[in-house]
Amino acid sequence: MTSDKVRSIRILDTTLRDGEQTPGVSLTAEDKIEIAQQLSKLGVDIIEAGFPSSSEGERKIVKEIAKQGLTSKICALSRCTKKDIDAALECDVDIIHVFIPTSPVQMKYAVNMTPQQVLDSAVESIQYVKKHGVACEFSPMDATRTEKPFLKEICLAAQDAGMDSLNTPDTVGCMIPRTTYEFFKELKSYIKVPLSAHCHNDFGLAVANSLAAVEAGADQVHTAINGLGERAGNAALEEVVTTLHVVYGYKTNINTRLLYSTSRMVSSLSGVSVQVNKAIVGENAFAHESGIHTRGVTEQPLTFEPISPELVGRTRKLVAGKLAGTRGIQAELNEIGIHPTDAQLADIVKRVKELGDKGKMVTDADLIAITSAVMGQVVGEEKIVDLCDMAVVTGIKVIPTASVRLMLDGKEYVAAETGVGPVDAVLKAITKLTSNLKQIRLSEYRLEAITGGSNAVAEVVIKVEDENGRIVSARAAREDIVMASVEAMINGINKLLLKNSKQGNTK
C-alpha cells in the first residue's frame, strides 16, 4: 500500500553545543537559556544544550535548560566514559548523545585507542545510559572517514546495546551529496533505529549533504542557527528547514516565520555576524536593486523570489542604486507616502544613478534628500526623534560615557551610557532612549574619512534595524566623528520610524 503521508523530518539543533564551539564564541548562562527558549518556540524537536563534563559552569547551564519545561527535548553530549555520562545524567536531560572517534586517524591520534577498545567503550556507554532509563543517541565520530567494515561492526554492536538513534557525523565535512546519499542508503540497509545526519561545512556542502542524507532516508538532521559550529560550521537550520519545506514538500515542526528573529538573536548574542548574501537570513536575501528585478517583483513577486519573505519572517527590500529602475524607486517612495510626478520620478532616478556611478552606496536617507531637492519641497522629513542636547566624556582613566537628551514623539527623554569609546557610548544612549518607541538596533556602522589630515571630514554610514527585520540606511558627514555618528543614527532612526508609521506599524 502506498502512503500519501507527507514525510516529517526531525531537527536536532546544536547551536548551544557545536555552535558554541565556533572559534571566539562563548555564551553566558543567560544567553544560552534565552537561546534555548527561542529554539523551543521555533519548534526544534531536540536541543543539544551542551557538554556537561566540560566544566562545572556548563553542567549547571545544561541542568538549568533541562529545568525550563521547554517543549523541545533536551540532549547533552558525552564522551564514552562513565564520568562524562554521570555528569550528563546529573542534568536530568531527555537524551544523552555519546560519541567516540572511529576513523583510523582519530582513533590513533585523538584518543590513542584500538578499534576493539573503541567498540567496547561504545557498547558499555550505551548500556550504561540505557540502564538509567535515558534515551541514547550514538555517534561514531568521523564516521564518513571510518573503514566500512568497522563502521558496520560498531553500529550493529551499538544497536544491540540499545541505542535509540544513530548519528553519523561528517566531522571534517569531506563528503559530497552523491557519496552522502550512498553512505546513508547503505546504513539504512542494516540499521533499524532512526538515522541522523551531522554535516560540517568545510567545503560549503553541509546543507547539500544533509539534504542528500534525508533523500537516502535519514530521519533527523543536526543543524545550527546561522550555520555556527566548529571551523566552517554545521548545516544552517534556516537553510535546511526552508529547503525541506519549500523544495521537497516535507514537514518539520519548525515555525519558519520565526527563522529570521531567531537568526538575529543568535547573531547578536554570539557576536558572529551573518554575511549579507547568506540564504534566507542574510540582509540581501530579499533585497532587489536592478530595474528588471524591482519591476518584476513589484508586479509579481514570484518573478525573482522563490519564496515569500514573510514565510521566513522577513520583508522585501527595494534598494536604490546605479542599477535601480524607475518602478523600484517609485515603490520605495510610495511606501513612505511620497508620490512624485512622472517627470519628477525620472529626475530622481537620474540623480540616484549619478550618485551610484560615483561608487557611493545610495542610502534610504539619500533617496529622500534627492527627492526633496527634485520635488522642491521637504518630503519625508517628519522628525519623530530629535536631538536636544548631548555630552561625551572620554580620556585615559575614564570610561567613555555619553549623556543624551532627545525629543521622542514630542516628549523629552534623557539617558546616559558607557561604551568602548565615545561613539559606542553615544549610540548606545540613543538606542536606549528610542526603545521607548520601538526596539531598534544598529546593525552596521562604517566610517570613512573623505579628506586627509586631522580636520578630515568623516563620513559615517549606518544601518538600523527594527525587530521586524526592516533595515534602513543613512549617512552623515562632519569634521566631528561623534557628531557625524549621532546625525547618521538619528537620521536612520527617523527614516525607519517613518516607514513603520506609513505602514501602520509603529510598535
Binding site for ligand KIV (CB under 6 A): 18, 99, 139, 141, 169, 171, 198, 200
Distance in Å, CB of 18 to Zn ion, minimum: 4
Pick 230 or 417: Cβ nearer ligand KIV: 230
Q: 3-state SS of 325-340?
A: CHHHHHHHHHHCCCCC
Query: What phi, psi does 76 have (nearest 5°)?
Result: -125, 145
When CB distances are held under 5 to 8 angstroms depending on the partner's kind, the choice from Zn ion, ligand KIV, none that residue 496 binds is none
User: In angstroms, rounded to a whole number, what is the distance separating the alpha carbons of residues 357 and 359?
Assistant: 5
User: In angstroms, rounded to a whole number, what is the distance separating the alpha carbons of residues 462 and 78?
Assistant: 44
Distance in Å, CB of 491 to Zn ion, minimum: 44
Does position 170 interact with Zn ion (CB under 5 A)? The reply is no
Residue list 13-32, contact with Zn ion (CB under 5 A): 18
Pick 170 or 283: Cβ nearer ligand KIV: 170
353: DSSP letter? H
Long-range Cβ contact pairs of 90-94 (< 8 A, separation 24 or more):
90/52, 90/59, 90/63, 91/49, 91/52, 91/59, 91/62, 91/63, 91/66, 92/63, 92/66, 92/67, 93/49, 93/62, 93/66, 93/134, 94/46, 94/66, 94/134, 94/135
When CB distances are held under 5 to 8 angstroms depending on the partner's kind, the choice from Zn ion, ligand KIV, none that residue 368 binds is none
When CB distances are held under 5 to 8 angstroms depending on the partner's kind, the choice from ligand KIV, Zn ion, none that residue 99 binds is ligand KIV
Distance in Å, CB of 99 to ligand KIV, minimum: 4
Pick 17 or 428: Cβ nearer ligand KIV: 17
Distance in Å, CB of 243 to ligand KIV, minimum: 21
When CB distances are held under 5 to 8 angstroms depending on the partner's kind, the choice from ligand KIV, Zn ion, none that residue 141 binds is ligand KIV
Size of the site for Zn ion (CB under 5 A): 1
Does position 366 interact with Zn ion (CB under 5 A)? The reply is no
When CB distances are held under 5 to 8 angstroms depending on the partner's kind, the choice from ligand KIV, Zn ion, none that residue 264 binds is none
When CB distances are held under 5 to 8 angstroms depending on the partner's kind, the choice from ligand KIV, Zn ion, none that residue 121 binds is none
Pick 99 or 260: Cβ nearer Zn ion: 99
Pick 142 or 364: Cβ nearer Zn ion: 142
Distance in Å, CB of 21 to Zn ion, minimum: 7
Q: Where are the beta strands (DSSP E) in 276-351?
A: 287-288, 317-318
Q: 3-state SS of 15-48?
A: CCCCHHHCCCCCCCHHHHHHHHHHHHHHCCCEEE
Q: How far is CA 452 from CA 72, 448, 457, 459, 478, in A?
A: 56, 11, 8, 12, 13
Pick 18 or 238: Cβ nearer Zn ion: 18
When CB distances are held under 5 to 8 angstroms depending on the partner's kind, the choice from Zn ion, ligand KIV, none that residue 327 binds is none
Pick 161 or 406: Cβ nearer ligand KIV: 161
Quick one: 180 exposed, middle or buried, by C-beta within 10 A (0-12, 13-18, 19+)? buried
Does position 137 interact with Zn ion (CB under 5 A)? The reply is no
Pick 100 or 287: Cβ nearer ligand KIV: 100
Distance in Å, CB of 446 to Zn ion, minimum: 34
Q: Which of 242, 251, 250 is nearest to 282 (CA)?
A: 242
Can you count the helices (H) and strands (E) in the chain? 16, 16
Distance in Å, CB of 49 to Zn ion, minimum: 15
Pick 33 or 80: Cβ nearer ligand KIV: 80
When CB distances are held under 5 to 8 angstroms depending on the partner's kind, the choice from ligand KIV, Zn ion, none that residue 494 binds is none
Pick 196 or 485: Cβ nearer ligand KIV: 196
Distance in Å, CB of 399 to Zn ion, minimum: 40
150 pairs with which residues across the strands? Answer: none
In this structure, what C-alpha cell is assigned to residue 331?
515603490
Q: How many angstroms from the chain centroid is the CA of residue 148?
A: 36
When CB distances are held under 5 to 8 angstroms depending on the partner's kind, the choice from Zn ion, ligand KIV, none that residue 278 binds is none
When CB distances are held under 5 to 8 angstroms depending on the partner's kind, the choice from Zn ion, ligand KIV, none that residue 139 binds is ligand KIV
Distance in Å, CB of 14 to ligand KIV, minimum: 7
Pick 99 or 181: Cβ nearer ligand KIV: 99
Does position 48 interact with Zn ion (CB under 5 A)? The reply is no
User: In angstroms, rounded to a whole number, what is the distance separating the alpha carbons of residues 318 and 324?
Assistant: 9
When CB distances are held under 5 to 8 angstroms depending on the partner's kind, the choice from Zn ion, ligand KIV, none that residue 106 binds is none
User: In angstroms, rounded to a whole number, what is the distance separating the alpha carbons of residues 224 and 200?
Assistant: 10
Distance in Å, CB of 175 to ligand KIV, minimum: 12
Q: Which of 113, 182, 178 is nearest to 141 (CA)?
A: 113
Q: Which of 491, 466, 460 is nearest to 382 (CA)?
A: 491
- Helix or strand run (H / E) with residue 302: none
User: In angstroms, rounded to a whole number, what is the distance separating the alpha carbons of residues 290 and 288?
Assistant: 6
User: Which residue has the CB atom at the shortest distance from ligand KIV?
Assistant: 169
Q: Where are the beta strands (DSSP E) in 26-180?
A: 46-50, 73-79, 95-101, 135-141, 165-170
Q: Which residues make up the interface to Zn ion (CB under 5 A)?
A: 18
